[in-house]
Homo-oligomer: A and B are copies of this chain.
Amino acid sequence: MNELPPVVLGPVVLWADLAGIFVSALGGALLAVRHKLDVFGVFVLAIVTGLAGGMARDVLIGATPVAALANTLYLPSALAAGAVVFFGHRVIERASQPVMLFDAMALGFFAVAGARKALTYGIDPLPAVLLGVLTAVGGGALRDVLLAEVPRVLKVGELYALAAMLGATIVVAGDALNLPSTLVGIAGALGTFALRMVSVRFGLTAPRAPGSD
């Protein structure tokens, strides 16, 4: 599976990336509207939130030009999400906690896409998990940095990076066991989404260093 990586990426990376881009860009654009940014701020945050994590992944593994620029569907997906939010944010906001929900879905899609693409490029299992997490949290982290806020991935009390790590680990483990990549991808995305939602619902938190309180 490692020869000619750009050709044999398979459908999991593509569809997981596209789904992640659209829902994370929705979340980023909603945050922009809440921060009262103008139309360009809305699209900039949609693009950053949707594409920056995968861009970082592609740059680090040497998959250039990055898919966000080379694939004809990536950028339009982020732009479409920006347009949906710009005109429809009042409808979307009626859902409870839409940014959190979109973030949790994107987290799962991106963790799967990032880990799978890393494996396809011959990256070892441990750094492949890291790349899944980076793909999942990178766009949101850059969005938060641009808004001059500490990225939520660093904040105590949310199983955010751990949820992405679960999904990426499922993909890496499934690959080691030669399980079918589509099923493994679905399991990884669902696992991430479920752990994230459960942690928010029941207030699960990761431990701090002993004696740091």
Q: Which residues of A contact B (CB under 8 A)?
A: 32-34, 36-42, 44-45, 47, 55, 59-62, 64-66, 68-70, 72, 75-76, 85-87, 89-90, 118, 121-124, 126-127, 130-131, 141, 145-151, 153-157, 160-162, 205-213
Contacts and interface: CB of A to CB of B under 8 A. Distances in A.
Given A38-B208, A69-B61, A211-B89, A75 B130 contact: yes
Counting every copy of the chain, the complex holds: 3
A64 B69 contact: no
Given A61-B64, A146-B151, A148-B149, A87 B130 contact: no
Contact of A123 (B33, B70, B212): B70
A38 to B, nearest CB: 4
A157 B38 contact: yes
Contacts of A208: 33, 36-39
Given A59-B60, A131-B69, A41 B123 contact: no
A108 to B, nearest CB: 17
A70 to B, nearest CB: 7
Contacts of A126: 75-76
A205 B46 CA distance: 20
Contact of A210 (B34, B37, B87): B87
- Interface centre among A55, A127, A157, A161, by most chain B C-beta atoms within 10 angstroms, is A127
